[in-house]
Amino acid sequence: MLRLGREWRSGRHVSAYEEGLHVLITQGLQGDTAAYRQFLDRLGGMFRTFFRRKLRSEDVAHAEDLVQETLLAIHLHRHSYDPSRRITAWVYAIARYKLIDHYRRSPTSRQFVPVDDIDDLFSGDVADATDPARDIAALLKHLPAKQSTAIRLVKLEELTSKEAAQRMGVSEADVKISLHRGLKKLMALSASKDVA
Amino acid sequence: MKTDRLIDALAHDTGATPRYVAERRLAIAGIAGLAVAFAMVVTVFGVREDFGSSLTIVLLKAAFGVVALAAALPLLLELARPNTTARRAAAPAALFAAASAAIAMGAFLLTPPEARMNAWVGGGMPECLYRIPLLAIPIAVALFLAVRGLGPTRLTLAGAAIGGVSGSIAAIAYSSCCQMDTALYVASWYLAAILFCSAVGAVVIGRALKW
C-alpha cells in the first residue's frame, strides 16, 4: 500500500550525480562525518549555481545567504530523508522552498517561480563562494546564552559535545538539545529580514 | 561566516541519525489521536446502546474508516517531508473518494424511492457531518505536531493530507456511536465529513505549517 506513494529508486534511471550524493548521504546518516561533510560541500556548489540562476541580477548578493539557509535547513531536517527516495528531489524541494520564501519576503523581486525538471539543474560548476550578506556567526548573539555557547563550543571551536558539557557544567544531552534548538533558531533568524 | 566554515560546523560532531523518524512520529501521533477520539466518543457522545448486538455493522463502518485511512496515508507520508511531486501518492485517495461516491450513488438507486430520504439523511441533518470533524481535531493537532519538524514544503497539500487522515481516523472512532447503518449513509456522509476535514486542514493547518 505504502509503495504506491514512493518514488522507488530501483528500476528507474538515476543519474551518476544522484548516485554519488545518495552514497554520501546514506553514509553520512549512519554517522560518517567525512561523507556528510562532502555531501554538504557538493550541495553548496549545486545550490550556489541554482540560486544565482534563479535570482535577479540585483538580488544575486543574497545567493550565498540562501545557500547557507538551505544547508542549515537540510541539516536540521536530515532525519526526515528516506534513503529509498531520491536525494536530489529531497534537497531541491528544500532549496526551492527557501527560494520561494525569499521571493515572498522581498516583494520587489517577486517573479515567476518555474517548477521545472530539476534534472536540468545538475552542474558540476562550483563557483567560488562569495561572502554572504548576512553573517550567521553574528546572528549567534541573538540566541539565548546557553544555545549560543553550545554552538560556539561544539560547532565553531570543534569540541565534542562531551567536552562542551564539561566546560559548560551541564549534561551532554543538555548540550545536544541546546545545539539543536540553537541551530533551529539560527535558521529562523537567518530567514528573517529584520535581523542584520 | 563563509559557507565552507558553516559546512564544517554543521558536519562536526554529527552522530548517526535514526531511520524511519517520519513513519514513527506519524504512527505515534495517529495512535494517540485515535485513543483521544475514542475517549471523546465514550464520554461525550456515548457508544450506541445496542453495541453488542450490532458489532458486525459497527466493524463494517469502522472498516470504511480504515480503508479511507489506508488511501490517505501514502499522501501524508509523501507530503510530510520535503517533496516535489505527490501525484503518484494521490492515486489511492482519489480512487477511494471516487469508489465511495459510486457506492453512494448505487445504494441510492437500489433503495426504494419511499425509503430513500430516511436511509440517506436519517432524521434531519446527518450528525456525523459535525461529529467526525470534531473528533478529528485532537488527531489533527497530534499529526500537525508530528509533521511540523519533518520539513514539509507543499504546505497546503500537506495540510489537506493531515485533515484527510485525521478525518479517516475520526471516522473509525465515530463508527462505534453512529446509529445509521445504511451503506448509502456511510458512503456519502462519512466521505463528505472526511473531505470537509481535508478542506479545513488545507487552509488552517497548511498555514500553521510554515517554517
Closest approach of A19 to chain B, Cα-based (Å):
19
Q: What is the ipTM of this complex?
A: 0.86
Q: Is B114 left (phi over 0), alpha (psi -120 to 50) or beta?
A: alpha
A21-25, A66-70, A133-137, range with the lowest pLDDT: A133-137
Confidence of residue A193 (pLDDT cuts 50, 70, 90): low
Report the distance separating Cα A150 and Cα A155, nearest Å: 8
What pLDDT sits at residue A124?
41
Name residue, grid cell 517548477. Answer: A115
Cβ distance B70 to A1 less than 8 Å, yes or no, reads yes
pLDDT, residue A121, reads: 46
In terms of average pLDDT, the best of A95-104, A179-188, B51-60 is A95-104
pLDDT at B84: 67
What is the sign of the dihedral through the CA atoms of A129, A141, B8 and A30?
negative
Of A40, A68, A94, the CB nearest to B151: A94
Is the pLDDT assigned to residue A59 strictly greater than 90? no
Specify the pTM.
Answer: 0.81
Position A133 confidence tier, pLDDT thresholds 50, 70, 90: low
Listed in sequence order, the residues at least 6 apart from B161 whose beta carbon sits closer than 8 Å to its beta carbon are B72, B75, B76, B78, B79, B80, B198, B201
CA B48 to chain centre: 22
The three cell numbers locating residue B133: 470533524
Q: What pLDDT score does B9 carry?
A: 85
- Report d(CA B17, CA B168) in Å as an integer: 31
Q: Does A93 touch chain B (CB under 8 A)?
A: yes
Interface of A with B in 108-167 (CB under 8 A): 118, 129, 131-132, 135-137, 151, 154-156, 158, 160-161
- Taking one residue from A and the other from B, the number of pairs with CB-CB distance under 8 angstroms is 139
Q: How high does pLDDT run on average in chain A?
A: 78
Q: Is the pLDDT of residue A5 over 50?
A: no
Residue with C-alpha cell 516535489? B84
Contact A31 B16 (CB under 8 A): yes
A136 to B7: CB separation less than 8 angstroms, yes or no: no
Task: Say whether pLDDT at A73 is over 60.
Answer: yes
CA distances from A154 to A149, B14, B196 (A): 8, 10, 48
Tell me which residues of chain B have a pLDDT lower than 50.
Answer: none
- Is it the case that residue A103 has pLDDT exceeding 70? yes
- Separation in Å, CA of A38 to nearest CA in chain B: 9
Structure-block grid coordinates of residue A166: 564539561
pLDDT over threshold 60, residue A54? yes
pLDDT at A120 over 50: no
Distances in Å between the Cα of B38 and the Cα atoms of A84, B46, B66, B136, B163 are 35, 10, 15, 11, 18
pLDDT of residue A122: 46
Alpha-carbon torsion, ordered A80, A45, A8, B210, to 10 deg: 40
Nearest CA in chain A to B8: A37
Q: Where are the domains of chain B?
A: 19-208
Q: What is the pLDDT of residue A172?
A: 82
Choice among A72-86, A132-146, B50-64, B196-210 with the minimum mean pLDDT: A132-146
Query: How would DSSP label each residue in A167-185?
Result: HHTS-HHHHHHHHHHHHHH
Model confidence at A125, pLDDT cuts 50, 70, 90, reads very low
Domains in chain A and their CATH numbers? 14-121 (1.10.1740.10), 136-191 (1.10.10.10)
C-alpha–C-alpha distance, residues A100 and B25, integer Å: 27
Residue A93: what pLDDT? 94
Q: How many CB atoms lie within 10 A of CB B29?
A: 23
- Residue A11 C-alpha, separation from nearest chain B C-alpha, in angstroms: 16
